[in-house]
């Protein structure tokens, strides 16, 4: 009887064991169902199998040793011994959180993969209870919050993947407890703070990927203890300090990427120990010192990126030992010396970039041995000599960029052998002679630039037939030949610049067959004949410049089909006839300059439909009849020049609607009648020229008319210097009634009065001369060049500021302190009191230049009212700008957010217009010398006002070759360091720096060197250049910002003559055609931003 009892007990305990596991399995399944119940999409088809099966049913047997699992057949769930062991629902479309994930109910869970879903919320601290977890993947979700310190309890974890979420705050030091982890990914989050030193305790780690976060502080030395590490990615963070030499202990490392941080100091020589390293990315940091010779020990290296740092010294000859190297990019550093001949040993190299450095000497002919080379860019250096003929051996070469050097001699014929060449950039050198005959015989050349050299002769036949052309620059040479024969049909052509050469002949109708052409520039040649109507077939044309040629005939009616046209310049030719009515369809025009031609007829009324127009110049033609009042509809018009024509009638009052109008020139016409009194509302008006017409009546009460050129009009009157005051109606009636009586009474007395006045005048003149000499001799004499009474103004300012008490001071600068003053005569003004170091010996030249500055009139320049000086005080009197300096606004977290993208674009345009005016329209031209955010003021409407222009020069009148560096640090052009000579190009450079600062919200610092070269812009992301305090710009605004960034970058070119002029820049900004500026830009690297 004992045997049956034993069997009974065995069956009982077996049943109890199975029941216990079945119950546990049911509890785990129930816990998963409770979590699923929190999903927003509970009807998820993939998880439809998640249903609790009845105990004992056919579906209750689990996958594993036991036979009855409640989760049997569930999608993504695997049980072992009836306990949930693996959960894999990657990319299942789950929308939910982890808040109710049953961490406590799944003690045997080893594998969790919830990646590529739409999980949000935070990682719950209960995750630390999954102590058997080996694999955890929460990547590619929307999980936020911090990494909980409880993750350190997962001591069995081998692989942790948290990447591509929205995790914030620091990495917990408890991460060091994961001693068995081999892979830890947390890249593409928003993690901040320092990398914890405890990470060095993860001795089993092979791959550590923390890139694309906001991590700061130094790289911990303890990472050097992770000797099994093969991948270390820390790029795109805010890490600072030097690179730890301990990283040289990572002898198993194959890929090291520390780029796009703020790392400083040298490249550790210990890197020579990383013999297995294949990829070394240290680019876009602030590393300094020389490239260590030990780098030659990395014989397995395939990619070496050191670009955009501050590395100096020469390129080590040991780099030639890297025989497996495929890509080497050393651009945008401060490398000097020669290009080492040993580079020719890198026989597998496909890419070598060393542009934007200070390399000198000859180009080694041995580079011709690199027969696998596809891209060679050593532009923007100081290389001399000629192009080696051995370059003809580089048959795989696709990109050859040598622009902006000092290369000379002829372009070698051997370049004709480069059948795969796509980009050839040789601009801004000293090449001479003629172009090789067969440069494009393979028909693959897309971008070709030889701009700004000394090349002569005709264009070769192979180039004229190169149908693959897209971007072409022949400008600024001495090319000759018949234009109609030198160029053919280019179906892919987008941009071509033939300006500033000696081409002759006529424009070919073939240009109309270049269907993709967006910009055609043939200015300043000797082109004759008429404009072919076929150009009207270029439906995508944005810019057309045919200025300064010998063109005759009329403007083709077919131009009416150029509905995308933004800029049209045909000035300084011999075009006659009227403006065709077909041009009414050019509604996108922003700049139209037809000046200096022989156009006649009336100005068409349809011009009023050009509502995007910024500049309209029809001067020096023979236009007649009245000024169309429809021009008043061009509300954004800033420059209107209709001077030197045959216009008559009155000035139409609707022109008063041009609220943005800054420059108005209607001189040398036959205009009559009154100046519309509505002009008093044109507050933006700066320059007014109405001279030599037949105008009469009162001069409008507008500040711009106080300095307007109005001579040659007999009937004008008003409170303006040189004109009689206007008489009231009562005085006119009274004068008519008493005229006879006055004549009878006055005439007998006049003779005697004239003699008396003449005698008194002589006495006064002599006395005035004596007084003037006395004033010149006295140190305490009062100087005044304001329109008001200088002496009275001087006293008013002293009284209003209580003798320049500090309580009225609103700012201090290098030359003086600024005070806000409220005067009845001028309202709020800014008074800049000069420092006492101002020398009396410079006073005379200072006064002469101040008088010149008072003559400047532009809406974007702070108005200088005048200057007062005596022995105690010397100060300048300026217009007051309500919002203060641009620098103070950008540095203020609240005010900077009010400065949205459109306001910033408008400020940039304003500064450009002001500088263009100073350089182009002032006589003599004025160089600002100190363009910076501190010297740009903003009025109540956030309009830019450039201030302190010329002041540095005024304070140093002997500074044509000055011995003191002028300008603000960080804005000064690099050539000033060795030439000490200020030119207009210095202002251009400063403008480029300022523009990028306005867009970023702060000075870009070392990143400026990256943007200074067109070839290096591929290393910059647009997000790196935008102010993070503002919302991401919309597509249209983003296009505008990219356009401006490219334009500003061209201002930073190292060679001054290679920078665009401010006149060029202002026209580009006024057109805003959303294309990257074509001035000195390499098309093959337009992937930059």
Nearest to 714 by CA among 692, 731, 729: 692
**How many other CB atoms sit within 10 Å of the CB of residue 961?**
9
Q: Which residue has the tokens 């290009």?
A: 339
At residue 1006's C-alpha, the angle toward residues 1001 and 1009, to 5°, is 110
Residue 577 has which token pair? 């006839």
Q: Which residues are annotated as a binding site?
A: 832
Distance from C-alpha of 1069 to C-alpha of 1064, rounded to nearest angstrom: 9
Distance from C-alpha of 250 to C-alpha of 226, rounded to nearest angstrom: 7
Residue 965 has which token pair? 């560096």
Distance from C-alpha of 524 to C-alpha of 500, rounded to nearest angstrom: 5
Residue 275 has which token pair? 């013999």
Q: Which residue has the tokens 């001035």?
A: 1079
Residue 977 has which token pair? 């360091």
Distance from C-alpha of 636 to C-alpha of 402, rounded to nearest angstrom: 42
Q: Encode 1026-1060: b = buried (16+ Cβ within 10 Å), e = exposed.
A: bbeebeebeeeebebbbbbbbbbbbbbbbbbebbb
Residue 378 has which token pair? 């050593």
What one-character DSSP code corresponds to residue 534?
A: G
Selecting among 329, 930, 1027, 1073, the annotated active-site residue is 930
Distance from C-alpha of 268 to C-alpha of 253, rounded to nearest angstrom: 15
Collapsing DSSP to helix, strand or coil, 827 comes out as strand
Q: Which residue has the tokens 């696709």?
A: 398
Nearest to 450 by CA among 418, 483, 479: 479
Cα Rg of the chain, angstroms:
38
Distance from C-alpha of 144 to C-alpha of 147, rounded to nearest angstrom: 9
900 is known as an active-site residue: no
Do residues 459 and 481 touch, judged by C-beta distance below 8 A? yes
Collapsing DSSP to helix, strand or coil, 382 comes out as strand
**How many other CB atoms sit within 10 Å of the CB of residue 593?**
21
Do residues 321 and 344 touch, judged by C-beta distance below 8 A? no
Residue 792 has which token pair? 């009275």
CB-based contacts of 222: which residues, under 8 Å, 6+ apart? 197, 198, 199, 200, 201, 246
Nearest to 473 by CA among 528, 426, 405: 426
Q: Are strands 478-479 and 454-457 parallel, antiparallel or unpaired?
A: parallel
Nearest to 1011 by CA among 926, 1089, 910: 1089
Residue 355 has which token pair? 């542009």
Q: Estimate to the nearest angstrom the gap between the alpha carbon of 918 and the chain centroid.
A: 23
Nearest to 785 by CA among 871, 721, 848: 848
List the end-to-end C-alpha distance of the chain, in Å, as a whole number. 91
How far apart, in Å, are the Cα atoms of 833 and each of 808, 811, 854, 884?
Answer: 12, 11, 17, 17
Q: Which residues are annotated as a binding site for ATP?
A: 832
Do residues 270 and 293 touch, judged by C-beta distance below 8 A? no
| Torsional class of 313: left (φ above 0), alpha (ψ -120 to 50), beta (otherwise) | left
What one-character DSSP code corresponds to residue 388?
A: -
Would you please indicate which residues are annotated as catalytic (active-site) residues? 930
């Amino acid at each position: 009887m004992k045997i049956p009892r034993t069997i009974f007990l065995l069956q009982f305990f077996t049943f109890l064991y199975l029941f216990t596991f079945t119950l546990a399995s049911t509890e785990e399944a129930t816990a998963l169902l409770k979590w699923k119940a929190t999903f927003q999409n509970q009807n998820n088809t993939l998880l439809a199998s998640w249903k609790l099966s009845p105990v004992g049913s056919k579906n209750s047997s689990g996958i594993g040793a036991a036979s009855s699992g409640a989760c049997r057949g569930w999608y993504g769930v695997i049980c072992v011994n009836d306990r949930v062991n693996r959960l894999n629902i990657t990319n299942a479309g789950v929308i939910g959180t982890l808040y109710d994930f049953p961490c406590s109910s799944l003690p045997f869970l080893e594998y969790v993969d919830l990646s590529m879903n739409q999980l949000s919320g935070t990682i719950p601290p209960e995750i630390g209870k999954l102590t058997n977890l080996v694999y955890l993947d929460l990547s590619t979700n929307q999980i936020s919050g911090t990494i909980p310190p409880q993750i350190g309890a997962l001591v069995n974890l081998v692989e942790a993947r948290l990447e591509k979420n929205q995790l914030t705050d620091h990495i917990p030091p408890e991460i060091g407890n994961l001693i068995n982890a081999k892979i830890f990914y947390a890249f593409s989050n928003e993690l901040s703070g320092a990398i914890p030193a405890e990470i060095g305790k993860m001795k089993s780690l092979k791959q550590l990927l923390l890139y694309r976060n906001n991590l700061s502080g130094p790289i911990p030395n303890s990472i050097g203890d992770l000797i099994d590490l093969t991948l270390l990615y820390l790029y795109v963070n805010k890490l600072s300090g030097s690179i730890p030499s301990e990283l040289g202990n990572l002898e198993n490392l194959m890929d090291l990427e520390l780029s796009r941080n703020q790392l400083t100091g040298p490249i550790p020589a210990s890197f020579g120990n990383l013999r297995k390293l294949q990829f070394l990315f240290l680019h876009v940091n602030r590393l300094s010192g020389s490239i260590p010779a030990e780098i030659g020990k990395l014989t397995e290296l395939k990619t070496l990126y050191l670009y955009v740092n501050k590395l100096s010294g020469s390129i080590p000859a040991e780099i030639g030992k890297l025989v497996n190297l495929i890509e080497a990019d050393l651009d945008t550093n401060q490398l000097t010396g020669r290009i080492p001949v040993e580079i020719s040993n890198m026989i597998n190299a496909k890419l070598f970039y060393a542009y934007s450095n200070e390399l000198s000497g000859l180009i080694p002919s041995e580079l011709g041995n690199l027969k696998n080379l596809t891209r060679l860019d050593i532009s923007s250096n100081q290389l001399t000599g000629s192009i080696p003929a051995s370059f003809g051996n580089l048959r795989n070469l696709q990109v050859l960029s040598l622009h902006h050097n000092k290369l000379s001699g002829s372009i070698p014929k051997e370049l004709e052998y480069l059948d795969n060449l796509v980009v050839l950039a040789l601009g801004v050198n000293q090449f001479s002679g003629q172009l090789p005959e067969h440069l494009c015989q393979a028909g693959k050349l897309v971008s070709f630039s030889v701009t700004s050299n000394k090349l002569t002769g005709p264009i070769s036949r192979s180039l004229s037939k190169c149908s693959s052309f897209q971007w072409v620059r022949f400008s600024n040479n001495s090319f000759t030949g018949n234009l109609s024969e030198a160029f053919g049909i280019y179906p892919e052509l987008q941009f071509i610049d033939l300006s500033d050469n000696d081409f002759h002949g006529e424009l070919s109708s073939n240009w109309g067959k270049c269907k993709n052409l967006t910009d055609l520039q043939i200015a300043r040649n000797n082109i004759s004949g008429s404009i072919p109507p076929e150009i009207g077939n270029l439906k995508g044309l944005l810019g057309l410049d045919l200025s300064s040629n010998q063109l005759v005939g009329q403007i083709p009616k077919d131009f009416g089909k150029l509905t995308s046209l933004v800029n049209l310049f045909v000035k300084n030719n011999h075009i006659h006839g009227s403006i065709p009515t077909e041009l009414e369809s050019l509604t996108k025009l922003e700049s139209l300059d037809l000046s200096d031609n022989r156009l006649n007829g009336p100005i068409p009324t349809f011009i009023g439909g050009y509502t995007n127009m910024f500049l309209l110049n029809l001067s020096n033609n023979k236009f007649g009849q009245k000024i169309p009042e429809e021009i008043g509809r061009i509300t954004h018009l800033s420059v209107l020049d209709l001077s030197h024509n045959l216009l008559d009638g009155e000035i139409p009052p609707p022109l008063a609607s041009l609220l943005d109008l800054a420059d108005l020139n209607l001189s040398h016409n036959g205009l009559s009648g009154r100046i519309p009194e509505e002009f008093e509302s044109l507050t933006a008006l700066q320059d007014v020229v109405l001279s030599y017409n037949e105008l009469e009546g009162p001069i409008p009460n507008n500040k711009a008319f106080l300095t307007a050129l109005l001579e040659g009009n007999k009937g004008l009157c008003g409170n303006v210097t040189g004109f009689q005051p206007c008489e009231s109606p009562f005085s006119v009636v009274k004068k008519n009634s008493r005229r006879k009586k006055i004549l009878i009474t006055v005439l007998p007395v006049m003779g005697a009065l004239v003699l008396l006045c003449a005698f008194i005048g002589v006495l006064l003149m002599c006395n005035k001369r004596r007084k003037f000499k006395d004033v010149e001799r006295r140190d305490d004499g009062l100087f005044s060049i304001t329109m008001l009474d200088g002496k009275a103004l001087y006293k008013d300012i002293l009284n209003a500021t209580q003798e320049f008490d500090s309580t009225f001071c609103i700012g201090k600068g290098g030359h003086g302190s600024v005070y806000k003053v409220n005067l009845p005569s001028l309202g709020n003004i800014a008074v800049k009191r000069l420092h006492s170091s101002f020398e009396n010996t410079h006073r005379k030249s200072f006064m002469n230049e101040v008088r010149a500055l008072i003559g400047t009139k532009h809406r974007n320049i702070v108005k200088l009212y005048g200057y007062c000086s005596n022995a105690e005080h010397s100060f300048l009197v300026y217009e007051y700008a309500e919002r203060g300096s641009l620098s103070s606004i950008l540095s203020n977290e609240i005010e900077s957010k009010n400065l949205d993208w459109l306001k910033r674009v408008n400020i940039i345009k304003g500064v450009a217009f002001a500088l263009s005016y100073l350089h182009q329209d002032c006589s003599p031209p004025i160089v600002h010398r100190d363009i910076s955010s501190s010297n740009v003021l903003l009025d109540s409407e956030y309009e830019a006002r450039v201030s302190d222009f010329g002041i540095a020069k005024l304070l140093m009148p002997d500074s044509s070759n000055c011995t003191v560096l002028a300008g603000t640090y960080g804005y000064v052009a690099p050539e000033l360091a060795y030439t000490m000579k200020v030119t207009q190009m210095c202002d251009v450079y400063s403008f480029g720096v300022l523009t990028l600062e306005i867009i970023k919200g702060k000075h870009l610092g070392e990143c400026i060197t990256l943007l200074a070269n067109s070839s290096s812009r591929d290393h910059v992301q647009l997000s790196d250049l935008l102010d993070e305090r503002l919302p991401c710009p919309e597509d249209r605004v983003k296009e505008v910002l990219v356009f401006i960034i490219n334009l500003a970058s061209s201002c930073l070119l190292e060679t001054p003559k290679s920078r665009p002029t401010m006149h060029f820049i202002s026209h580009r900004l006024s057109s805003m055609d959303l294309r990257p500026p074509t001035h000195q830009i390499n098309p093959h690297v337009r992937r930059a931003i």
